[in-house]
Structure formats: C-alpha cells, structure tokens
C-alpha cells in the first residue's frame, strides 16, 4: 500500500478539502499534513510551483489539485469509468478551479479595493459560474454532476458552495447561490448528508 502525505493549510475548505474527503470516503490511509501560513512561507521556495496542496506518494511529489482529485477519486471509486461521464466530471472540476483562481486573486486586497474587486466578481465571473454549475448539475440529472452518483466533482462543488454560503468572503452575498442556482443549495445539503461525507466531518 503506498504511503500518502497531503499537505495543505490548516483549515476546512479550499483546494485540498475534496481530496481529504475522497481519501476518507475510500478508506485510504493518508497523512493529513496541515501547515500554518507561517510554515507555508518558510516552505514556499522549496515547492515546485510555490503553492499547495502537494501530494507525496511514496516520497514522489505531485501537484495540481484537480489531478489529485482525479487520482484519489479513482482509488476511492469516486471517478467515472465511462469516458463521457469522466468528461462531465472533469469539466466541473476545471470550472470550479477557474472561479477559485479568480476569488483567490482578491484575497490580498483590502478596503475599497477589496470591495470593488468582489463586486466585480459578483456582477461578472462568479455569477456566470454559479449559473453554469446549476446547468451542469441539471445536465447530470439534478442530483449529481456525473455518473448519477457521488463523484469528486460533487465534492469539489460542495466545498465551494458551502464556502460561498457561509459568509467567509466579504462583499459576496451569502444568498447569491440560492438566488442564481437553487439546485446547488439542494445539492450542497444532499452531499452533506452522504454517509461518507458525514463521517469525514464527524471524525
């Protein structure tokens, strides 16, 4: 059995959360290495792309959160075998990553600059993506994004939707998802009730 070490910031959410859940859901042992922002500052120059998450597999380091999602998803039975359904899954993963990067670009801003940037997001890319996620969910049948069952695509959207609704992002309305794509709110609640997801958060 390979040894896995997943390194990411010490909080729930973000790019590593779907990977953590997938490891747990698949019953796959891994080291959940959580780093503080201070530790990351010290480690950053040693990292291939100066970013986390980073996954070590028997000492071999890999990067890119969507690549990790697919890999661990396959190990855990949370990734489609059918090529078209896998395409649907990948499309969803990449769309979430796209909006995550746009949100991330606003993180270092303060004051009026932050407010202006977040308002631009709400009026533009964020709303476009939320509506798009609603369309992808409907295409998948309304309950899941691909394969008619839980996949890493659901986990990635679940983490993003949950984050947006919690009010953790200043100047982004907590009801934005509900107004633009109510199905995503139902999806978030559905995934939260999945026994393997519940077990992860109860651990």
Say if CB 94 and CB 70 are below 8 A apart.
no
CATH architecture of structural domain 4-76: 3-Layer(aba) Sandwich (3.40)
Looking at residue 1, what is its pLDDT?
83
User: 60-62 and 54-57 as β-strands: parallel, antiparallel, unpaired?
Assistant: antiparallel
User: How many CA atoms, within 13 angstroms, populate the side-chain half-sphere of residue 159?
Assistant: 27
Q: What is the pTM of this model?
A: 0.96
Q: In this structure, are residues 94 and 66 in contact, taking their beta carbons and an 8 Å threshold?
A: yes
110-144: pLDDT as tens digits: 999 999 999 999 999 999 999 999 999 999 999 99
Instruction: State yes or no: pLDDT of 149 exceeds 90.
Output: yes
Q: pLDDT for 39-53, tens place per residue?
A: 999 989 999 999 999
The structural domains of the chain, with segments of one domain joined by +, span 4-76, 83-194
Instruction: Map tokens 């859901």 to a residue.
Output: 25
What's the rounded Cα separation, in Å, for the pair 68 and 176?
A: 29
Phi, psi of 107 (to 5 degrees): -65, -30
| Other CB atoms within 10 Å distance of the CB of residue 114 | 16
| 83-194 and 4-76 share a CATH fold | no
Cross-strand bridge partners of residue 65: none
Residue 168 has pLDDT above 90, yes or no: no
Q: Model confidence over 26-35: pLDDT tens digits?
A: 999 999 999 9
Listed in sequence order, the residues at least 6 apart from 96 whose beta carbon sits closer than 8 Å to its beta carbon are 133, 156, 157, 160
Tell which CATH classification among 1.10.1740.10, 3.20.20.70, 2.40.50.100, 1.20.1050.10 matches the domain 83-194: 1.20.1050.10
């Amino acid at each position: 059995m390979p040894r896995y070490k997943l390194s990411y910031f010490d909080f729930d959410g973000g790019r590593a959360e779907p990977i953590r859940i997938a490891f747990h859901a698949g019953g796959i042992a891994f080291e959940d290495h959580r780093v503080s922002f201070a530790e990351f500052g010290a480690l950053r120059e040693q990292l291939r792309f100066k970013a986390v998450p980073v996954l070590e597999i028997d000492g071999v380091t890999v990067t890119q959160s969507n690549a990790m999602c697919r890999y661990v998803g396959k190990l855990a039975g949370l990734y489609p075998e059918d090529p078209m359904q896998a395409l649907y899954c990948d499309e969803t993963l990449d769309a979430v990553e796209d909006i995550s990067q746009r949100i991330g670009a606003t993180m270092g801003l303060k004051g009026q600059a932050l407010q202006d940037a977040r308002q631009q997001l709400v009026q533009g890319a964020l709303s476009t993506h939320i509506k798009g996620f609603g369309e992808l969910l409907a295409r998948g049948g309304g309950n899941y994004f691909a394969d008619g069952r839980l996949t890493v695509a659901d986990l990635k959207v679940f983490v993003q939707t949950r984050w947006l609704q919690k009010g953790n992002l200043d100047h982004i309305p907590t009801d934005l998802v509900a107004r633009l794509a109510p199905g995503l709110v139902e999806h978030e609640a559905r995934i939260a009730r999945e026994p393997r997801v519940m077990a992860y958060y109860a651990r």
